[in-house]
Amino acid sequence: MEQSSTAVYLWIVLAPLVGAIVAGLFGRQIGRAGAHWVTIIGVSVSTLLSAIVFKQIVIDSGPVFDGAVYTWGRVGELELVIGFLIDRLSATMMLVVSFVSLMVHVYTIGYMHDDPGYQRFFSYISLFTFSMLMLVMSNNFLQLFFGWEAVGVVSYLLIGFWYTRESAIYANLKAFLVNRVGDFGFLLGVAAVLLYFNTLDYTEVFAAAPLLTGETMNVWFDAEWSVLTVICILLFVGAMGKSAQFPLHVWLPDSMEGPTPISALIHAATMVTAGIFMVARMSPLFEFSETARSVVLVIGAVTAFFMGLLGLVQNDIKRVIAYSTLSQLGYMTVGLGASAYAAAIFHLGTHAFFKALLFLAAGSVIIALHHEQDMRKMGGLRKYMPITWITCLVGSIALIGFPGFSGFYSKDAIIEAVHLSDIPGSGFAYLCVLTGVFITALYSFRLYFMVFHGKERMDEEARAHVHETPAVVTVPLILLAIPSVIIGWFYVGPMLFGDHFGESIFVLPENDVLAELGKSYHGVIGFTLHGFMAWPFLLAMAGVATAWFLYMARPEIPAQIAKRFSLAYEILVRKYGFDEFNEIFFAGGARGIGGLLWRIGDATLIDGIMVNGTARLIGWFSSVIRHVQSGYLFHYAFAMIIGLLVLIGVFVTFAGLS
């Protein structure tokens, strides 16, 4: 049993890797069709096996698998392995990741149809699937870090996929470096885990965590910090990078330079949720540090609200969705901070479906308009692209959390959980997520109305060619739209209030806001109906109405508002100035320091004074001493006599002393 299940798990990760290698190295030989077939078959194998594993572990409550595949290295007693931990949490993630990935693979056939880098693209997205699966299936911190960085690299490669575009290669470098800032914290967190637990194995670490609650360490002068708080905050810095939390969010909007399928796969559904997954996985650590959870909560709340605001002023269709993603990631983070890990993962799942759907729908619009992304040049597409229109509407409704749609269940749970939480910062967080609902509805329907309704603002040329996209594009849209609607009904009960995650997520009884919430839960229908009478619903409807008023009824008003509140508008358009600040302070600063150290430290001080200075000194000394070698015999004789006198003098003095 043990053997055979290891083989199954290995196939789940290796199938996409094989596809990636074949498509990447032999792309020319196997051709375009060969590349998409080999990778799609690989990912299909993963998806199918993941579904079987999901059934075994989650539905049939099969036993948790925790085993090593091979020993990566051994130092003394410390054994570092590559292995899998397959429990209810990882089984859920595996299914979400492989399914969304499969949809994106299929969709890519249509989207990248004319691209010369077709094979390379398939190779990358399969490689990504491999990395992400390694990340979620890991049973130790080493492999987690491997997956963590590997998804970052593939994201780097994919953002820079169109490598001749200056904006793309700027964005991918930026994404990688900002992620590295997060990884920097994450690696220190892993190092701290090793120091205090002497192992990198999850199970052993989690088992020992309660024993460490009283332990403190000295980080800064004499301030004693709880060890678990330090570990959790360091790990969370990693999550802030990967899941684009304020202030490490800056890379995500720029990542839209990559082709749309990867925006859906990586920058909405999977990679950016790695941080959320990681914190949920580490719940046995975070539960013992209220300080760390407070930090998580506040960072998440700031991201949820302030990034949502930025979505209001963007005109690039993908960027609107990108800011929406940032904001939704903030919601998930808030859920984690409130100890509602299950709700965060639930939102991660529903968001994966509806956000991938929205991105792919946006992509569909973009191809139909021949790579036009500016919403000001769209409008009225409803009648040209009925499938895209309907599916996009479904995605938007799910996003704003309309009762009955999947987003409602997960987002409402987070909002309610924060409401019940009483850790420091929860009041602020509640305010942010609640007003965030209005913002979400406003930017979502601003996009929807600007693209699918109203005046047709594209030029004649484009209008003549607009038509619905081919089946490889629309079928994934439909397949993603279905779970976007229904998945909430099935999972709200088991995920939030049941034992869907079982032992895989650990919550201390006194923090268990979801259990508190569960006391008033009487089935999905009651929950849904209650949604119609709650604040979030009213705020969402207000947002939709506002969007309708501003962009359908009185389209001239937004410009007037922008003019009237020009300062606020300017701040939003400039994205609070983060990009300028980072460019000047960090990028410029690093170059400045580097230049200074090079020119002053290396060139002037070390080389100029010490090295060449020594050479010059010796040269000068020998030029002086050269004059002694005059060639006149009497000079030498004179020197000898003086030398002799000195020697005798010294000898007499010292001999006399002794």
Query: Is 114 a binder of other proteins (CB under 8 A)?
Result: no
Tokens of 293: 């959870």
Contacts with other proteins in 595-634 (CB under 8 A)? 595, 597-598, 601-602, 606-607, 610-611
What tokens appear for 55 in the block?
């059934």
* Closest C-alpha among 259, 254, 258 to residue 109: 259
Q: Is 217 in the site for other proteins (CB under 8 A)?
A: yes
Residue 593 lies near other proteins (rule: CB under 8 A): yes
List the beta bridge partners of residue 65.
Answer: 86
Nearer to other proteins, 163 or 565 (CB): 163
Count Cβ atoms within 10 A of the Cβ of residue 87 and give its class: 0-12 exposed, 13-18 middle, 19 or more buried. buried
Binds other proteins (CB under 8 A): choice among 8, 41, 68, 173: 173
User: Does the protein bind other proteins through residue 21 (CB under 8 A)?
Assistant: no
Q: Find, among 339, 348, 346, the residue nearest to 514 by Cα.
A: 339
Nearest approach in angstroms of CB 622 to other proteins is: 15
Nearer to other proteins by Cβ, of 259 and 483: the residue is 259
* In 312-383, alpha helices (H): 317-337, 341-368
Find the binder of other proteins among 31, 33, 63, 163 (CB under 8 A): 163
656 near other proteins, judged by CB under 8 A: no
222 binds other proteins (CB under 8 A): no
Beta pairing, strands 65-75 & 223-226: unpaired
Q: Judged by CB under 8 A, does residue 176 bind other proteins?
A: yes
Among candidates 181, 162, 182, which has minimal Cα distance to 172? 162
Our CB check for other proteins shows the closer of 597 and 646 to be 597
**Distance of closest approach, residue 193 Cβ to other proteins, in angstroms:** 9
In whole angstroms, the minimum distance from the beta carbon of 603 to other proteins comes to 8
Span of 12-20, 150-158, 359-367, 370-378 interacting with other proteins by CB under 8 A: 150-158
Q: Is 83 in the site for other proteins (CB under 8 A)?
A: no
Q: Which of 55, 63, 74, 207 binds other proteins (CB under 8 A)?
A: 74
Instruction: Tell me the torsion sign for CA atoms 108, 113, 117, 118.
Output: positive
Q: CA 325 to CA 460: how far, in whole Å?
A: 33
Contact between residue 70 and residue 82 where contact means Cβ atoms under 8 Å apart = yes
Q: What whole-number distance in Å separates Cα of residue 13 and Cα of residue 98?
A: 10
| 281, 202 Cβ separation under 8 angstroms | yes
Output the smallest distance, CB 232 to other proteins, in A. Answer: 15
Count of CB atoms situated within 10 Å of the CB of 177: 16
Among positions 12, 58, 192, 326, the unique one binding other proteins when judged by CB under 8 A: 192
Min dist. Cβ of residue 21 to other proteins (A): 11
486 part of the interface to other proteins, by CB under 8 A = no
Query: Quick one: how far is CA 136 from the chain centroid?
Result: 14
Q: Which residue, 77 or 556, is less far from other proteins as judged by CB?
A: 77
594 binds other proteins (CB under 8 A): yes
Cβ at position 77, least distance to other proteins in Å: 5
Binding other proteins (rule: CB under 8 A), the pick from 75, 464, 567, 625 is: 75
Q: Where are the beta strands (DSSP E) in 114-165?
A: none
Site for other proteins in 115-144 (CB under 8 A): 142
Query: Using CA atoms in the order 512, 513, 516, 520, what is the torsion angle rounded to 10 degrees?
Result: -140
Residue 369 parent element (H or E)? none
Give least dist CB 41 to other proteins, A.
24
Q: Minimum CB separation from other proteins for residue 125, in Å?
A: 17
Note whether 349 and 487 are within 8 A (CB): yes
Q: Which stretch binds other proteins (CB under 8 A): 182-190, 360-368, 460-468, 533-541?
A: 182-190
77 sits near other proteins (criterion: CB under 8 A):
yes
Under 8 Å between Cβ of 329 and 244: yes
Number of residues engaging other proteins in binding (CB under 8 A): 53
**Are 161 and 121 spatial neighbours (Cβ–Cβ below 8 Å)?**
yes
DSSP code per residue over 473-512 = HHHHHHHHHHHHHHHHHHHIIIIIISSSSGGGS---GGG-
One character per residue 328-347, x = contact with other proteins (rule: CB under 8 A): --------------------
Task: List interacting residues with other proteins (CB under 8 A).
Answer: 70-78, 142, 145-146, 148-150, 153, 156-157, 160, 163-164, 166, 169-170, 173, 176-177, 180-181, 183-184, 187-188, 190-192, 194-195, 217, 219, 590-591, 593-595, 597-598, 601-602, 606-607, 610-611
